[in-house]
Structure 1
Amino acid sequence: MALTLPARPDPLADRIHAGGLLHELAHGLRGPFHYLLPERFDANLAAFRAALAGAGVEGRVHYAKKANKASVFMERCAAAGAGADVASLGELRDALGHGVRGDDLVVTGPAKNEQLLRVAARQGALIAVDAPDELERLLVLDAGRPVRVLLRRHPPAQPRSRFGLDDAQLQEALRRCAGAGDAVRMEGFSFHLSGYAVQPRADLAGELVELCLRARALGLPADRISIGGGFPVDYVAADAWDAFLTEQGPGHYHGEKAFAADDFYPYHSPVAGADALRAILAARPGGTGPSLAERLRQAGVTLLLEPGRALLDRAGSSVFPVQGVKDRAGYGIVTVDGTSLSLSEQWFNSEYLPDPVLLRDRGDRTGPADRTDRTGPAGQPYRACVGGASCLDSDLLTWRKIAFPARPRVGDLLVYPNTAGYQMDSNESPFHELPLPPKVVIDHHGGRPRWHLDR
């Protein structure tokens, strides 16, 4: 029996899919591509800002650039006066080049190299210090201005985390900052926390507020904290997700491949995006006392956020032309133009689970003739996994046997929905000298979609 997991309804995407635009783009671009919807990015950014304002909290949103390399999202950040979270010299240069101000950048990541630290400091970016030696390098850096830093706290609840300063290192870092004069400006604290649970983020954020108060007693400004990202996206409905986790097993996948439930990203979240931020702000750190929002207000602490996936929710999808179909006992194998390197969940030995959408080639093969492409009685689904165009046996975009409404044909398109967050380009590679799928920006003018290639 087929195991389905449809993405949540998206009327805007449905309108794009219903027209002929994607087939025209596939024909003109001669291969797979990603399409981007920057208006969705704008709406998600506005929702996060509204959550901060609704809680009466002073805050700043920094888009985590690593979630998608497209230039258009940097342009939208600059236009909206938002910041960016960058972790390499290339990301920093790209953000500046698209108009994001240096003062609006937060530089994260472990063991930053000398050139990144130097350029970030001279541009006035806020640098999250992850290790004692990194702070020492900044203390002697001639940046022509005080170097703005956050001290990253090692999360006590996640002792295996490789990020951040432990208690002893944190105390020594505070002492060094307090004695550094104008060499640095220690503006507060940050953390990197794995997972998506609300309460642990609120608990650690509450601890950072207290650290700010202690740092101020040493004469340091300490007026902001960063809680990073980790705001989940709700890709699928709760009942569909629960049924999938209950029923899925090796028989649903090509080659009897086995996945454990915790191998998958949590594709359903009851509280997601800006609502997750609202829940964190309403939570009581440690389970008692004032809410996090109230503690931030009382202490005069600004909250910094670094969402990536959540700002890209429904802001783009990936399109792959069908190159061939072969039948196996009880199911088929669809091969597309493109590879699994363009769906980065495979990087984690996992699977991108929302069902791909089949868009038929509308040439001269429509209507009743479609019935000849079915393996069973008319109206029955055609179950198939989806393989890439490489010579690797493991190159599958989807190991699961998807229940397509008809047997796909050469010229049809498979659209993987909502892939803008981390899926499109985290580990793309021109393997076999196949070109990387281009990104197409789609906007709407007078109700009519228009497009251009992302620069």
Structure 2
Amino acid sequence: MGLTGARPGGGVSGATADAAVLRGEGTPTTADDRPPHCAPPMPALVSAVEQRLIDDPQLLGDIAEAVGGPFHVLFPDRVAVNVTRFQAAFATAGVDGFVYFGKKANKAACVARVCAEHGAGIDVASTGELVAALAQGVRGEDLMVTGPAKSDELLWLAARHRALIAIDAIDELDRLAELRLPARILLRVLPDGSTSRFGLDPVELEQAVRTVAADGPITLSGFSFHLSGYDTVARADQAVTLVGHCLRARADGHPADTISIGGGFGVDYLDADAWSRFQNDLSDNWFHGESPTGGYYPYNFPVPGADMLTAILAHNDLAGLLRGNGIQLAVEPGRALLDQAGSSVFRVQGVKTRTAHGEPYDILTVDGTSLSLSEQWFASEYLPDPVPWPPRSGHRTPTCVGATTCLESDLLSRRRIPLPRRARVGDLLIYPNTAGYQMDSNESPFHELPLPPKVVLREAGDRLRWSMDAR
């Protein structure tokens, strides 16, 4: 399940070649031979199983013919690898830890099933997500229920299944108490200086702790927080604060043996050189129409995923503090458990040629929408380059990718991407590593188009076998 390419320190890199070179086509695009209206190559870091799929001369075509329209491919075995890496980080640090998959990042049934099979829980925020997790074998006690202003139905179901409920407001705690059911809760803390609309401020937090009777049906199991961004030091420092809350709650008779630091574990989509080049050389000339205004996800992380958890545990010996006080650390990664776990595939339906700054470029129209590549709907751009399939020789062609709707702004890729060859009608276009948030976070049946189905791909010896996802 490794990635193509390697860099010092055991990581992965595609800096030496674009996606075409990884498949043995063409030559790398350099700053010298790339026209000024064309973006630099941004080759995705690709797992071994995904590369097998790209290289297979027939399988993608067979799937496309069978399902019709755009589709997503999921690699559940990769989710298992990612779960195990987080669990190994806890074990190496000697910390009692538990991994909850942030289900909002992907709805696929096969992902929930992997969590059930590999000792991970699921973070859910609706009755639908809770029921879907239970249906795939995740035990109620392995669910974390988050989100603001939870409905009475969600609170009732969560309590009935002994899920851990992250309380976000005083009135939510009051409504839970009115159910008169045994329930396990964390109190979500508003971090100092945060302007978030979520969490309990110091006054509310003190009131909530007083509200929970030590001998009542509601058990105060601990505290949680969520932070924006990817700062390991800030997360470690806030975790120390939560340990203090636990110790004070214990003095009042509560078990308070768990803290959750939420998600926000970075994912490496691109090698460091490609990401740096994009940031340093970014030009409005690279885009069809207006360039994105919403900013970009940090597509390269020096310390991503489970390594980020290791760094958090090491800061000021947070691991030792947790061990010494018998406190379990929960994490709620979404995207990081889906790294290299899926791709999105579209069929080219039309090709037009336009010019910019006196240079030609192609605009493709594919059979899906940017709702299936959701960064676009945040006024941003999904940066890893798509890969045309089947592999053919040809000349690099600056290419934008438009969607099938009648909206001018509906483009999957505004950038003029240096595709390794000119795409043709009937070709497939593969966007790698889209399982984390991209592939279904914002999908809707716009124009009454059906939602792209999910195909599950597994390695079976020298073959790749596929089936439809259960959801």
Aligned to 1:199: 233
Aligned to 2:242: 208
Tell me if the contact between 1:106 and 1:126 (Cα under 8 Å) persists in the aligned partners. Answer: yes
- The C-alpha deviation readout for 1:181-200, integer Å capped at 9, x for no partner, is 32210000000111111001
Aligned to 1:390: 405
- The C-alpha deviation readout for 1:343-380, integer Å capped at 9, x for no partner, is 111221111000001113x7xxx6xxx65xxxxxxx4x
1:302 and 2:333 are equivalent in the alignment? no
Q: Distance in 2 between matches of 1:67 and 1:114?
A: 24
Aligned with 2:382 (options 352, 358, 362): 352
Instruction: Tell me how far 1:132 sits from its aligned partner.
Output: 0.7
Aligned partner of residue 464 in structure 2, secondary structure? strand
Query: Which structure 2 residues correspond to residues 225-304 of structure 1 after superposition, within 5 A?
Result: 225-255=259-289, 257-259=290-292, 263-284=295-316, 291-304=317-330
Q: Which amino acid aligns with 1:268?
A: N
Aligned to 1:317: 343
Query: Which structure 2 residues correspond to residues 174-185 of structure 1 after superposition, within 5 A?
Result: 174-177=209-212, 179=213, 181-185=215-219
Aligned sequence identity (%): 57
Instruction: Tell me how far 1:136 sits from its aligned partner.
Output: 1.0
Q: Which amino acid aligns with 1:237?
A: D
Aligned to 1:42: 80
Aligned partner of residue 216 in structure 2, secondary structure? helix
Q: Which amino acid aligns with 1:243?
A: R
Aligned residues: 428
Q: Distance in 2 between matches of 1:231 and 1:216?
A: 30
Consecutive aligned runs of 4 or more in structure 1 exceeding 3 Å deviation = none
Runs (5+) with no aligned partner, structure 1: 285-290, 372-378
Q: Which amino acid aligns with 1:11?
A: A
Aligned to 2:352: 326
Aligned to 2:9: none
- The C-alpha deviation readout for 1:394-449, integer Å capped at 9, x for no partner, is 11001000101111001111100000000011111111221111100000112210
Tell me if the contact between 1:140 and 1:183 (Cα under 8 Å) persists in the aligned partners. Answer: no
Aligned to 1:376: none
Tell me if the contact between 1:139 and 1:180 (Cα under 8 Å) persists in the aligned partners. Answer: no
Q: Distance in 2 between matches of 1:112 and 1:180?
A: 23
Instruction: Tell me how far 1:259 sits from its aligned partner.
Output: 3.6
Q: Which amino acid aligns with 2:225?
A: F
Q: Which amino acid aligns with 1:100?
A: V
Q: Which amino acid aligns with 1:258?
A: S
Instruction: Tell me how far 1:305 sits from its aligned partner.
Output: 0.9
Instruction: Tell me how far 1:180 sits from its aligned partner.
Output: 5.8
1:133 and 2:171 are equivalent in the alignment? yes
Tell me if the contact between 2:291 and 2:414 (Cα under 8 Å) persists in the aligned partners. Answer: no
Q: Which amino acid aligns with 2:327?
A: V
- TM-score of the aligned structures, taking structure 1 as reference length: 0.92
- TM-score of the aligned structures, taking structure 2 as reference length: 0.89
Aligned to 1:170: 205
1:59 and 2:92 are equivalent in the alignment? no
Instruction: Tell me how far 1:248 sits from its aligned partner.
Output: 1.4
What's the Cα RMSD here?
Answer: 1.2
Tell me if the contact between 2:46 and 2:340 (Cα under 8 Å) persists in the aligned partners. Answer: no
Q: Distance in 1 between matches of 2:314 and 2:67?
A: 48
Aligned to 1:7: 44
Aligned partner of residue 93 in structure 1, secondary structure? helix
Greater share of helix residues, 1 or 2? Answer: 1
Tell me if the contact between 2:98 and 2:329 (Cα under 8 Å) persists in the aligned partners. Answer: yes
